[in-house]
Amino acid sequence: MLKLNHNSLRRIQLHAMRTYPEECCGVLLGKGEGNARIVRSVVELRNQNDANRERRFLVTPEDYRKAEEQAQREGIEILGFYHSHPDHPAAPSQFDLEHALPNWSYVIISVDDGVPRAMTSWSLQHDRSHFEQEKIEAYH
Amino acid sequence: MPTTVLIPTPLRGFTDKKASVVLDGETVGELLEQLASQYSGLRRHLFTDGGELRSFVNVYVNDEDIRSLQKNKTPVREDDVVSIIPAIAGGRF
């Protein structure tokens, strides 16, 4: 399960609206507790895919390192990443699957004609065969 | 010679929660092979079925990407730090 506070949820929605029709991306920071990942904050990242931002996103190793350093400074962890699917369902693609790692949450937000719609979260199975959808619980 | 390899957070579940592992090897390729042999759950996340390093898995020796050095054949020394850093990518189709 992924627990997201309302502020983080809203920030993801606004980020997705702002970058539409291009994909947005960002990192989820927080702590794991048992089977739950509890997001304390989200950090917007620049989509570094130069060629095709309408249907691809990329976080470079440099940006990843900076996010990891920020998490360490704050005594928390990277719990996963979010990205948007403009005019497309909030379900992971084969491309998402091929580029995912286990033990992280992958949040996808669908943006329909500039309006944020469904938000889902997914976790890669250890055998890399598929994503398992996980529940998102909003908290204050 | 012993070289430190840093493990990214999501893969520490396969290395008994260790953030770094000290391994013996002359090249990056040898170190990664050792790592995948010692912690077998890691292999499929680092390498394709054909044994190639996955495109989104970046390996740095200190601050240099091995793709701009000698890739798997990049030599390592005892005081080098090898980091595995994922590039995060995806998209709608």
Residues of chain A with Cβ-Cβ distance to B65 below 8 Å are 61
pLDDT in tens, B61-78: 999 999 999 999 999 999
Task: Please state, in angstroms and rounded to a whole number, the distance separating the CA atoms of residues B40 and B35.
Answer: 8
Contact B22, B4 (CB under 8 A): yes
Beta carbons within 10 angstroms of residue B25's beta carbon: 19
Does A88 contact B92 at a Cβ distance shorter than 8 Å? yes
Does A83 contact B91 at a Cβ distance shorter than 8 Å? yes
Residue bearing tokens 């394709």: B48
DSSP calls for B20-63: EEEEE-SBHHHHHHHHHHHSGGGHHHHB-TTSPBPTTEEEEETT
Residues of chain B with Cβ-Cβ distance to A69 below 8 Å are none
ipTM of this predicted complex?
Answer: 0.88
CA angle A106, A107, A108 (to 5 degrees): 115
Delimit the domains of chain B by residue range: 2-86
Which chain A residues touch B if contact means CB-CB below 8 Å?
23, 25, 49, 52, 55-61, 64-65, 68, 77-78, 81, 83, 85-86, 88, 92-96, 99-104, 106, 126-128
Task: Please state, in angstroms and rounded to a whole number, the distance separating the CA atoms of residues A109 and A50.
Answer: 21
pLDDT in tens, A23-38: 999 999 999 998 899 9
Task: Please state, in angstroms and rounded to a whole number, the distance separating the CA atoms of residues A96 and A58.
Answer: 11
Would you state the CATH architecture of domain B2-86? Roll (3.10)
Domains in chain A, CATH or no CATH each: 2-139 (3.40.140.10)
The list of chain B residues with pLDDT below 70 reads none
Residue-level pLDDT at B93: 78
